[in-house]
Amino acid sequence: MNKPADMQTIETVALWINGRAQPAASARFGDVTNPATGAVTRRVPFCNAADIDAAVKAAAAALPGWRDTPPLRRARVMQKFLQLLQANQKDLAQRVTGEHGKTLPDATGSVQRGIEVVEFACGIPHLLKGEHSEDVGTGVDCHTVRQPVGVCAGITPFNFPVMVPLWMFPVAIACGNTFVLKPSEKVPSASTRMAELATEAGLPDGVLNVVHGDKEAVDAILNHPGINAVSFVGSTPIAKYVYETCAKNGKRVQALGGAKNHAVVLPDADLEFAADALISAAYGSAGERCMAISAVVAVGAAADPLVALLKRKAEAIMVGPGDKEGVEMGPLVTRQHRDKVAGYIDQGIKEGAKLVLDGRPRKVPGYEGGFFLGTTLFDHVTPEMKIYQDEIFGPVLAVLRAKTLEDGITLVNGNPYANGTAIFTESGGAARRFENEIQVGMVGVNVPIPVPVAFYSFGGWKNSLFGDLHLHGVEGVKFYTRTKVITTRWPHQDTPAPGLNMPTLG
């Protein structure tokens, strides 16, 4: 844990339990830093099992009333919440920049993508409609209803402090569940603020609760018998741990993990267009996006001109504090993470990759305490190298070379991660083949970061998602509800009495 911050001047982020800001029972705290300056700006409580239990008790107490609130009324609360999020978009984006480091326009865009999930959740009466069949037997009807799962929990990563929590709790709550959110301890303040706004929107006390902390808080969630379902987004090792622990404890779970997203660039692609797209996908948010492109597979003659274009465009990117006008790429989230990413650049050189552009020396005058790293480009990377195998999660782009589209597809399919991928080509046939054969959850055709819009679902395959159902969209509604199938017969309708045999259509 970090050194204690000055309690006199620095705000402590509150928990939000039962409709109120609350201090934690735990006496452990961590520091929240501004990545552009390195200064400690807030401190965050690291909840213990008693704090988690208090949040779960509040969620359990709120459940019967909220579950029985008609979906249309639940949707009206979501509509009010939507308005409040829109009115507070700038403040939320500033919190994202202040704690994560990404630029303000990028933060604003990520808040917008989260708000769109709330727009989706406003349609919940329609989304909860079941099926009905008349006369499945003589005088017998059958229908389905989707009912809430109960108390749900969400555990979220540092890189989208507003958007990823909004992928989860609006859908869960609109479905009639109550919720305990545990955001990343590196970026905690936006979640408490969103819970405050949800209460202002008319959400009953206890329906949405926010706790903070590290492994201790997560373990208390995973092992709490009062929690029925867990949504997790974060790195692959923790996703796997969350998935396994929840499965052992009989909880419904979806655990989204890390990524190594490839873009395959064919020689017939518009290379200028592809390079612009790749620059944005590799270096936007300093590469700290689960859908960032971190590996480019340049096919045949595309390689040399593409690398030249990428180098020219990458070195022109303006690096600086995220709240400064004109800055295109901010710092990394913590000093520790910045140093880890810089270590991968050292490693790539040792492994024999060709360093085309080195971000390590980049300094930002006036921000010497910030966690900055410049844009970095490697060429001639091979699948045996650690810089290819590991998720670096920083502004480091690796170019691999392949002879044919087939080789490119084989390379992508051989990677254990499978979150997103993209192909750049002018050929419909090549794109169609890629779409069909690629073993990845989200695919872009001339779209570098194919993050699905809110009314589709978000999720990868293989080591990028443990579980079945993706987040938000129709799959989100399925995750947060259980189906009940009801078969109905009304007596005294001139239908024969059932015998002892298995009923069949008659």
Q: Is 391 in the site for ligand NAD (CB under 6 A)?
A: yes
Q: What's the CA gap between 319 and 367, in Å, rounded?
A: 11
Helix, coil or strand: residue 276 = helix
Q: CB 450 → ligand NAD: shortest distance, Å? A: 12
Should residue 55 be labelled a site residue for ligand NAD when binding is judged by CB under 6 A?
no
According to the binding rule CB under 6 A, does residue 463 interact with ligand NAD? no
E-strand ranges in 123-228 read: 132-137, 140-148, 151-155, 178-182, 208-210
| Per-residue mark of binding to ligand NAD, 267-306 (x: CB under 6 A) | -----------------------x----------------
For ligand NAD, give the closer residue by CB, 75 or 222.
222
Residue type, 287: G
x-marked contacts with ligand NAD along 166-185 as a string, rule CB under 6 A: ----------------x-xx
Question: Which token pair is 277?
Answer: 């797209």
* Nearest approach, Cβ of residue 481 and ligand NAD (Å): 21
Provide, rounded to whole angstroms, the least separation between the CB of residue 241 and ligand NAD: 6
Q: What minimum distance in Å lies between the beta carbon of 4 and ligand NAD? A: 19
Which of 161, 320, 450, 460 touches ligand NAD by CB under 6 A?
460
**CB–CB of 424/266 below 8 Å?**
yes
Of the candidate residues 294, 419, 457, 481, the single one contacting ligand NAD (CB under 6 A)? 419
Please enumerate in sequence order all residues whose Cβ is within 8 A of that of 62, keeping only pairs 6 or more positions apart, or say none.
18, 178, 204, 205, 206, 207
Closer residue to ligand NAD (CB): 75 or 332? 332
CA separation (Å) from 289 to 121, 199, 393?
24, 30, 7
Which distant-in-sequence residues (6+ apart) come within 8 Å of 294 by Cβ?
A: 259, 260, 261, 282, 287, 391, 392, 396, 397, 398
Three-state SS for 256?
Answer: strand
Binding mask 116-135 for ligand NAD (x = CB under 6 A): --------------------
Could you tell me the smallest distance in angstroms from the CB atom of residue 42 to ligand NAD?
16
Residues in the interface with ligand NAD (CB under 6 A) total 27
Of 185 and 379, the one with the shorter C-beta distance to ligand NAD is 185
Closest CA to 182 of 207, 156, 161: 156
Contact with ligand NAD (CB under 6 A): which of 26, 94, 103, 159?
A: 159
Contacts of residue 342, defined as CB under 8 A and 6 or more positions apart, other chains included, come to: 359, 360, 373
Q: Is 234 in the site for ligand NAD (CB under 6 A)?
A: yes
Query: Which lies closer to ligand NAD via its Cβ, residue 235 or residue 427?
Result: 235
Least Å distance, CB 504 to ligand NAD, is 46
Nearest to 14 by CA among 47, 63, 53: 47
- How far, rounded to the nearest angstrom, does the alpha carbon of residue 112 sit from its chain's CA centroid? 14
Mention every residue, 6+ apart, whose C-beta is less than 8 A from residue 49.
216, 220
Nearest CA to 468 out of 252, 289, 165, 199 is that of 252
Position 157 contacts ligand NAD (CB under 6 A): yes
Applying CB under 6 A, the span of 55-63, 113-121, 255-263, 338-346 interacting with ligand NAD comes to 255-263
Is 142 in the active site?
no
Active site residues: 290
> Would you tell me which residues interact with ligand NAD (CB under 6 A)?
155-160, 164, 182, 184-185, 214-215, 218, 233-235, 238, 256-259, 290, 391, 393, 419, 460, 464
